[in-house]
Amino acid sequence: MISANLSAIFYLVSGVLFILALRGLSSPETSRQGNLFGILGMIIAVTVTFLSVGNFSSGFIFVLVFILIGGSIGALIAYKIPMTAMPELVAGFHSLVGLAAVFVAISAFLNPEAFNLGQPGNIKLGSLIEMSIGAAVGAITFSGSIIAFLKLQGIMSGSPITFKGQHPLNAIILVSIVILIYLLCSTQSSNLFWILLAVSFLIGFLLIIPIGGADMPVVISMLNSYSGWAAAGIGFTLENTALIITGALVGSSGAILSYIMCKGMNRSFFNVILGGFGATEDTSGSTKKEKRPVKSGNADDAAFLMKNASSVIIVPGYGMAVAQAQHALREMVDTLKKNDIKVSYAIHPVAGRMPGHMNVLLAEANVPYDEVFELEEINNDFANADVAFVIGANDVTNPVAKTDPQSPIYGMPVLDVEKCKSVLFVKRSLSPGYAGIDNDLFYKENTLMLFADAKKMTEDITKNL
């Protein structure tokens, strides 16, 4: 048994280690060390908790057993999961944090003496407020992440689900959560506590169903943020510094990522959260649906163009992840480099289904990270490049975002692919992208469409090089 003051100091130490873990991510070189700081912080926090409870009865064995069970499941998942499934995995993990927060809150509500919070039915007011906020946010995180997971996994359709009166209904539920928390705190009734949890689960579910697949980067970041606020709420209840610091870190981290993602789409956070984007029939597009000529080619033509180029820029998107084409792509690039062709990669902030999705896939395929550039870093280079190879991206290359104020994506930062001498566009068909609008790039004089599966086409090009 160690004193409360000493354990508080250790919790502070682990909070600081968590800050260092995030700090490490400022560059790939320091990131691995950062992760070790995070692990160390976690070990300290868990050990100190054992020592401060000091109850090494048979319950202790069960705690270890459950840590082992959970730990081995987690480790197994971490080793088995393919990198393309990372968005689903992260969404799944968020749901677990949310549910764990709910369970801890239930536990504390049923047995407040164990946490020094008063007696059942007479819990300290401050603790009860913190606990119910933590539980509500945790429940929203849980059910919201489950929906995000199902959509990313493809079990549930990625298209937005909307119905009449959706927004008023959500607003009423959100207001009722606030009222429920108020009533719960004034009556201490356990029935209200259960109702609060049920309503929070429901709203998490309702909030995410209207949001479409390509908006998932914002949703995942937002849920990341929520899981942090839930942890912080529980941290206040338990008076635990490590948990409060971590909750604040994770909460602001998720909020910043959501902001970056919204900016990458030039849409407000509320526009994304209210959902329904891409579901509405595009009126501007359907009026001018005349058939425009498209130049299409095969792997041979593409190989010829690239062989005669001196610099090539690759623009990957979600389609590359779907086709698992990253390894084939890297092989193609290796062949290009052997022919002394300069190759770099251009990544749009919202390419893929989560922040940094493309970077991880390219890293998996052994692409050195110093060949991979962000939008601002590389956008001026398109004008000097010979070939742009667009693989699985669409809306993020659409020049309409710069030219047509009527377009739903007007103002969104896009990659200036059309400035390249020639553009190779790998796509399965001419179908519009997520925003439901036609891509002008398809019809440009210098664009060659390669209609095929991304992986197969890339392999064929490599053969022809």
Partner 1 sequence: MEIDPLIFRLSIFILSIFVGYYVVWSVTPSLHTPLMSVTNAISSVIIVGAIIAGLSGNSDSIFNTSSIFGFMAIALAAINIFGGFLVTQRMLAMYKKKKKDK
Collapse the DSSP code of 451 into the 3-class scheme (helix H, G, I; strand E, B; otherwise coil) and give the result. strand
Contact region with partner 1 (CB under 8 A), list: 29-37, 295-303, 430-438, 456-464: 29-37
Per rule CB under 8 A, is residue 250 in the interface with partner 1?
yes
Among 104, 148, 313, 336, binds partner 1 (CB under 8 A): 104
Catalytic residues: 395
Q: Minimum distance between the CB of residue 130 and partner 1, rounded to whole angstroms?
A: 9
Among 1, 3, 5, 57, binds partner 1 (CB under 8 A): 57
Q: Measure the CA–CA gap between 362 and 369, rounded to whole angstroms.
A: 8
Contact region with partner 1 (CB under 8 A), list: 35-43, 166-174, 285-293, 403-411: 35-43
Q: Measure the CA–CA gap between 126 and 323, rounded to whole angstroms.
A: 52
Per rule CB under 8 A, is residue 318 in the interface with partner 1?
no
Near partner 1 in 352-381, by CB under 8 A: 354-357, 359-360, 363-364, 366, 368-372, 374
CA geometry: angle at 274 spanning 269 and 279, to 5°?
115
Among 123, 218, 220, 420, binds partner 1 (CB under 8 A): 220
Question: Are 329 and 365 a contacting pair, CB within 8 Å?
Answer: yes
Contact region with partner 1 (CB under 8 A), list: 103-111, 312-320, 407-415, 429-437: 103-111
Q: Which segments of 239-383 does DSSP mark as H helices, in order? A: 241-265, 269-274, 283-287, 299-307, 318-323, 326-338, 357-364, 375-378
Q: Judged by CB, which is closer to partner 1: 202, or 260?
A: 260
Per rule CB under 8 A, is residue 453 in the interface with partner 1?
no
Q: Minimum distance between the CB of residue 315 and partner 1, rounded to whole angstroms?
A: 15
Q: Judged by CB, which is closer to partner 1: 236, or 442?
A: 236
Per rule CB under 8 A, is residue 308 in the interface with partner 1?
no
Number of shown-chain residues binding partner 1 (CB under 8 A): 117
Per rule CB under 8 A, is residue 209 in the interface with partner 1?
no
Q: Which residues contact 341 (CB under 8 A, 6 or more apart)?
A: 306, 307, 309, 310, 311, 312
Q: Minimum distance between the CB of residue 283 and partner 1, rounded to whole angstroms?
A: 35
123: which strand partners? 118
CA dihedral 107, 113, 116, 117 (to 10 degrees): 70
Per rule CB under 8 A, is residue 334 in the interface with partner 1?
no
Per rule CB under 8 A, is residue 74 in the interface with partner 1?
yes
Q: Which residues contact 72 (CB under 8 A, 6 or more apart)?
A: none
Q: Judged by CB, which is closer to partner 1: 113, or 300?
A: 113
Per rule CB under 8 A, is residue 253 in the interface with partner 1?
yes
Q: Judged by CB, which is closer to partner 1: 166, or 253?
A: 253
423: which strand partners? 388, 447
Per rule CB under 8 A, is residue 163 in the interface with partner 1?
no
Q: Measure the CA–CA gap between 237 and 218, rounded to whole angstroms.
A: 29
Near partner 1 in 126-145, by CB under 8 A: 126
Q: Minimum distance between the CB of residue 446 and partner 1, rounded to whole angstroms?
A: 29
Q: Measure the CA–CA gap between 213 and 188, rounded to whole angstroms.
A: 41
Among 196, 206, 211, 245, binds partner 1 (CB under 8 A): 245
Per rule CB under 8 A, is residue 236 in the interface with partner 1?
yes
Among 180, 184, 197, 231, binds partner 1 (CB under 8 A): 231
CA dihedral 430, 300, 325, 343 (to 10 degrees): -110
Classify strands 118-119 and 342-347 as parallel, antiparallel or unpaired. Answer: unpaired
Long-range pairs of 151-154 with CB within 8 A, sequence gap ≥ 24: 151/208, 151/213, 151/216, 152/87, 152/88, 152/91, 152/213, 152/216, 152/353, 153/88
Per rule CB under 8 A, is residue 232 in the interface with partner 1?
yes
Among 6, 46, 179, 383, binds partner 1 (CB under 8 A): 46
Q: Measure the CA–CA gap between 439 and 415, rounded to whole angstroms.
A: 13
Mark residues 8-27: x for contact with partner 1 by CB under 8 A, - for none.
---x--xx--xx-xxx-xxx
Contact region with partner 1 (CB under 8 A), list: 71-79, 154-162, 266-274, 291-299: 71-79
